């Protein structure tokens, strides 16, 4: 901080003003044409019986830094909080809510936390790779406990800072050891994917995924773009419950995607943020990853427990890299640790212990599956009710069945930016500008109101 101090000793008010005016031209600090006193702090002190007034003038070294735009997803919550209308509805952030639209802490999580307290466990630093018990159970949850790839020790797993941090570690590995390789991401995709690869300096391009004409999967375009990518590219795939569309490939389509990726010697990179939370089945939601692993493919998988265990603020996840040999996995893990060390040193312990307790304790694991089925079931029920409300209220004959074909916590409504803005401005319904709504933040009681808002915005705003 640049600072200049002036002492004004026992001067009259008029003289003081005059002196300040005379000093103004001399206060040109830096290169910008700022006003003479951008910030003034006055301090009084006595010296030899006289009162001295000091003026501190500070000019920020960060003057050239501009205001960043609000995050497209988290900014929705900020706008929602500022809205005072009692009808307001936040469908922007993907966080599960109860039927009363309140945050939900899973009962199984509370029991797992009680176990931690009962055992008197400490809060010492974890190793760089994270909690060993967590790494073991999370890889088993993803690939299946008896999967040969685990028995052969071909998977390098380290704990990451939820899904975002795990993706970022993998991106750093790509940038360092696959220099110049491109990663293909779906169009559209989760907004933070582009930020992650941009900051890691990994070049990316998009493959077609969403077809606005059918509000479904553009499978032909997806295959064509993956085929056209330079050989050896990384292909980012959403393991289940594609964000933001909620549109997933069928099992047959996953097989075809695997064929093309193998033909082009590409490397699949899965983002698995909703295992068990999409269909209600942990195994079903991991089927795409397991199918690719069964083909003998090397692949990367980022995991998150924000949604399926409600551990949003615990920032708990993992990056798994399936290699062709145990030796390669050992070397890859050593480099993942090397990348993590200067980023955050080691990951948080509390959430890791929760996951290890839940997945590693048979009774808690069974209870977790029941709670996931309950949460997934509530989302499915509001999805059905929203469809029913739209179909009953819309007399044009428009087919809204695409809502039922989508899966997971999100629905891609097909609304454009102007229509989405109308949802907020007129109806106080907050959503991302691409037309995505989070059904996890919707209650059955609000479905008819939301249907009215969607129909009005769809037909009356262009």
Which residues are catalytically annotated? Answer: 190, 271, 307
Residue 435 near residue 416, CB atoms below 8 Å: yes
Burial degree of 418 (CB within 10 A; 0-12, 13-18, 19+): exposed
Structure token pair of residue 307: 């949604």
Closest CA to 423 of 94, 88, 188: 88
Q: Which residues of 234-245 are buried (b: 16+ CB within 10 A; e: fewer)?
A: bbbbbbbbbbbb
Helices (H) and strands (E) in the chain, counts: 17, 16
Residue 210 near residue 243, CB atoms below 8 Å: no
CB-based contacts of 323: which residues, under 8 Å, 6+ apart? Answer: 154, 155, 156, 298, 329, 332
Q: Which residues of 379-417 are buried (b: 16+ CB within 10 A; e: fewer)?
A: bbebbebbbbbbeeebeeeeebebbeebbbbbbbbbbbe
What is the distance of C-alpha 209 from the center of its chain? Answer: 19
Helix or strand run (H / E) with residue 46? strand 40-47
Distance between CA atoms of 187 and 240, rounded to whole angstroms? 16
């Amino acid at each position: 901080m640049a600072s200049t101090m002036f002492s004004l000793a026992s001067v009259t008010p008029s003289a003081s003003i005059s002196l300040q005016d005379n000093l103004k031209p001399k206060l040109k600090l830096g290169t910008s044409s700022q006003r003479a006193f951008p910030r003034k702090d006055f301090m009084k002190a006595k010296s030899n019986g006289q009162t001295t007034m000091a003026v501190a003038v500070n000019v920020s070294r960060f003057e050239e830094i501009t205001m960043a735009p609000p995050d497209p997803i988290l900014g929705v919550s900020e706008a929602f909080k500022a809205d005072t209308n009692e009808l307001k509805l936040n469908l922007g952030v993907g966080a599960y809510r109860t039927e009363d639209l309140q945050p939900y802490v899973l009962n199984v999580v509370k029991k797992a936390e009680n176990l931690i307290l009962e055992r008197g466990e400490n809060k010492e630093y974890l190793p760089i790779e994270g909690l060993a018990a967590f790494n073991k159970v999370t890889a088993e949850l993803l690939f299946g406990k008896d999967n040969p790839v685990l028995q052969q020790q071909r998977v390098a797993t380290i704990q990451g800072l939820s899904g975002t941090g795990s993706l970022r570690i993998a991106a750093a590995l790509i940038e360092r050891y696959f220099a110049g390789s491109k990663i293909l991401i779906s169009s559209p995709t989760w907004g933070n994917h582009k930020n992650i690869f941009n900051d890691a300096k990994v070049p990316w391009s998009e493959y077609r995924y969403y077809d606005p004409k059918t509000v479904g999967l553009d499978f032909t375009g997806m295959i064509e773009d993956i085929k056209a990518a330079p050989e050896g590219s990384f292909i980012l795939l959403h393991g289940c419950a594609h964000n933001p569309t909620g549109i997933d490939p069928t099992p047959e389509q996953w097989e075809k995607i695997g064929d093309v990726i193998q033909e082009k010697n590409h490397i699949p990179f899965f983002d698995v943020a909703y295992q068990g939370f999409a269909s209600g089945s942990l195994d079903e939601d991991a089927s795409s990853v397991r199918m690719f692993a069964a083909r003998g493919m090397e692949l990367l998988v980022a995991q998150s427990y924000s949604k399926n265990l409600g551990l949003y603020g615990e920032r708990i996840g993992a990056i798994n890299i399936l290699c062709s040999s145990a030796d390669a996995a050992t070397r890859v893990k050593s480099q993942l640790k090397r990348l993590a060390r200067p980023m955050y040193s080691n990951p948080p312990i509390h959430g890791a212990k929760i996951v290890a307790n839940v997945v590693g304790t048979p009774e808690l694991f069974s209870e977790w599956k029941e709670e996931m089925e309950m949460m997934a079931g509530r989302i499915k029920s509001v999805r059905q009710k929203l469809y029913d409300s739209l179909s009953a209220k819309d007399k044009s004959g428009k087919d809204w069945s695409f809502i039922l074909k989508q899966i997971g916590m999100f629905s891609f409504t097909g609304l454009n930016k102007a229509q989405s803005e109308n949802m907020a401005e007129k109806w106080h319904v907050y959503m991302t500008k691409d037309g995505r709504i989070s059904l996890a933040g919707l209650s059955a009681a609000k479905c008819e109101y939301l249907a009215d808002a969607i129909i009005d915005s769809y037909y009356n705003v262009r």
